[in-house]
Amino acid sequence: MRYALATWEVRDLLLIPSFMFSESAVIKRKPLAATARRAGWVGCNIDLHRIAPEARIPIIAASSPADPAQVRARYTRLKPIREIKTAQRGWTLDVLNIVRRLGKPEFTNDDVYAHDRELERLHPDNRNVRPKIRQQLQILRDTGLLIHVESGRWRLP
């Protein structure tokens, strides 16, 4: 939420469904000092750049409320992601985020493979990153967030 303090006016308000947060978007902070009232407590920050643009649904933009039907339609389009098991969902959301960062309406497997090191860092327990990327692209296709054009080629709807 962004607001004007002087006028108490909400300027921008985003809805991000809870199932669209990946573990990689949550940045752990330092624990509170031993002298703090809640010593040892660890908070976090959320990096909105690590959340796919589809997941950022504007409720209010530039002080104007969004059309409720459009807000509901955008949320409904994301609901298939909610059905993916939590352990798997992080991979799916991280691959979706990479696809969106490519900035191209159509792309290839190789375009996503170029980010395999980043996915290795985010998911160090997985030793088969490229097959996992292909699997996640297929899952994104099944949820309607990608269109499979031909072998190794994809398009955003």
What CATH number is associated with residue 148? Answer: 1.10.10.10
Average of pLDDT values for 99-104? 93
Summarised one tens digit per residue, pLDDT across range 39-82 is: 989 999 999 888 988 899 999 999 999 999 999 999 999 999 99
> Considering its fold, how many domains does the chain have in total?
1
The pTM of the full predicted model, rounded to 2 decimals, is 0.81
Q: Is 98 exposed, middle or buried (0-12, 13-18, 19+ CB in 10 A)?
A: buried
pLDDT at 127 over 90: no
Summarised one tens digit per residue, pLDDT across range 114-124 is: 999 999 999 99
pLDDT at residue 86, rounded to an integer: 85
pLDDT at residue 28, rounded to an integer: 92
Q: What percent of the chain has pLDDT over 90?
A: 83
pLDDT at residue 105, rounded to an integer: 95
Average pLDDT, the chain: 93
pLDDT at residue 129, rounded to an integer: 95
Domain interval for residue 41 = 2-155
HSE-CB of 56 using CA atoms within 13 angstroms? 13
pLDDT at residue 144, rounded to an integer: 92
Q: For residue 134, give the amino acid letter.
A: R
